[in-house]
Amino acid sequence: MKNGFIFAHKSTARGRLDLEYLDETSGRKASLRAAKKLDEEVGKKLKGFVDYASKESIGQVHAGGFLHNAIRRNSDGSSTAPIKLTNEERKRRITEAWRFHLDRFGSQAKSPVIAHRLVFSMSTEQHDALVKAGISPDQVVISSVRKVMDRFAEKFHRGDSIGYAYGLHHDTDNLHVHVALCPRSAKGRYVGCSMSRHPSKHKNQMVFMREWFERENQLRGEFLSNNEKVEESLTKRLDQEKFAIVPRLSTAQRIALMDADHQAASHLRQSYESILGLEKAIAEKKKQLALLRGARAAERVLRVRKNPLLRAGEKLGVAAQSRSLRQMQQTLTKLKRTYLLEHQHYNQHHQHHAHHRTQQQIQQRTGQLL
């Protein structure tokens, strides 16, 4: 299997910071695609992506390293997990923290480095193998990039920390991640990203990063060849429901399944409805937990005094809610894995039954449902 790779191309941004290129849905990216007349092609690729994965990862920009903690702080002194911020708010906070950090450790250069830009890519072969196995390529490539950046920090900035921002892109033939690397570490040391062919003069960080990323993808290919390892790995992850994915059903496909009168179609439809219902319940449970934790955090900030028994009871309640959420996530993963097998079996043996309706009939039923 062809592995993913880090592009040989690396660029350096000078003069001003612009993180909009990390967001594939930003106005800047849209205008660039329009100029190259790629809008229709990109639209098809994004549509294909949402057929199997959540729309939540499209256009999202995230922070890593010391920047992840820097953007948590709110103006009132409280803290908000970056994942709970809107995408626009995250981009704004990352930009502000980045500029503040570079101002704090100013450079004497006439045209100082503002960011190093990197691109990590996944091969189509590995992407398709992951989808077939029911594993999210998005989560896998992001996980690989984070591991590479951690190794980069450990090797070249041990005892320190690096900062970076990244965004996932689905608008080309290869799923890829754009990374903006801050040129100053948490302690203010210069963060290089050399591509020099003279190792005696430079550390040539790009060679190491490319090798690490390719090794990650090689291991992933070996992992996918063993179904038992895939199942075992998923059950051990705390975020297993994010890695386990299922093919999405369009309205027309769901109507076709309702019209089919054999057991395979019934099982497939019921499994899919169960997944949708459990996803909704998990989202609601997460909101409830966030409210509970937010209320407790506010009380700590305001130094609200409570009866110790009441406080202990609330703590136990949050713990019980967390355990319940964990069990729901595990159940969702099992449902997704079962559904994936049923979907594959259905496609092999019964697909012609479910789609034995004319387009006119499907459109008529769609109109009734809507």
Cα separations in angstroms, 192 against 13, 65, 160, 198, 213 = 13, 16, 14, 15, 18
Examine the domain organization and report whether 236 and 259 are in the same domain: no
Q: What is the pLDDT of residue 253?
A: 76
Examine the domain organization and report whether 230 and 289 are in the same domain: no
Which residue type does 187 have? K
Q: What is the pLDDT of residue 161?
A: 96
Q: What is the pLDDT of residue 247?
A: 81
DSSP per-residue string spanning 100-148: HHHHHT---SSS-EEEEEEEEE--HHHHHHHHHTTB-HHHHHHHHHHHH
Q: What is the pLDDT of residue 53?
A: 46
Q: Which domain holds residue 334?
A: 251-369
Structural domains counted in the chain: 2
Examine the domain organization and report whether 219 and 159 are in the same domain: yes
Examine the domain organization and report whether 160 and 282 are in the same domain: no
Q: What is the DSSP letter of 98?
A: H
The 10s digit of each residue's pLDDT in 150-199 is 999 999 999 999 999 999 988 777 888 999 999 999 999 999 888 765 55
Phi/psi of residue 81, nearest 5 degrees:
-60, 130
Q: Is 198 helix (H, G, I), strand (E, B) or coil?
A: coil
Domain boundary among 243, 278, 309: 243
Query: Can you read off the two tokens belonging to residue 289?
Result: 């937990």
Examine the domain organization and report whether 220 and 266 are in the same domain: no
Domain boundary among 173, 208, 243: 243
Examine the domain organization and report whether 281 and 217 are in the same domain: no
Examine the domain organization and report whether 225 and 283 are in the same domain: no
Taking the C-alpha atoms of residue 132 and residue 6, their distance in angstroms, rounded to an integer, is: 24
Examine the domain organization and report whether 354 and 264 are in the same domain: yes
Examine the domain organization and report whether 112 and 89 are in the same domain: yes
Examine the domain organization and report whether 236 and 117 are in the same domain: yes
Q: What is the pLDDT of residue 358?
A: 38
Domain boundary among 223, 243, 263: 243
Q: Is 37 helix (H, G, I), strand (E, B) or coil?
A: coil
Q: What is the pLDDT of residue 24?
A: 81
Mean pLDDT by 10 residues, the chain (370 residues): 64 79 78 59 46 62 94 85 89 93 84 89 86 87 93 94 92 85 94 70 78 86 80 77 80 76 81 90 87 76 76 82 88 89 80 47 51
Examine the domain organization and report whether 351 and 269 are in the same domain: yes
Examine the domain organization and report whether 188 and 256 are in the same domain: no
DSSP per-residue string spanning 269-300: HHHHHHHHHHHHHHHHHHHHHHHHHHHHHHHH
Q: Is 324 helix (H, G, I), strand (E, B) or coil?
A: helix
Taking the C-alpha atoms of residue 154 and residue 54, their distance in angstroms, rounded to an integer, is: 33
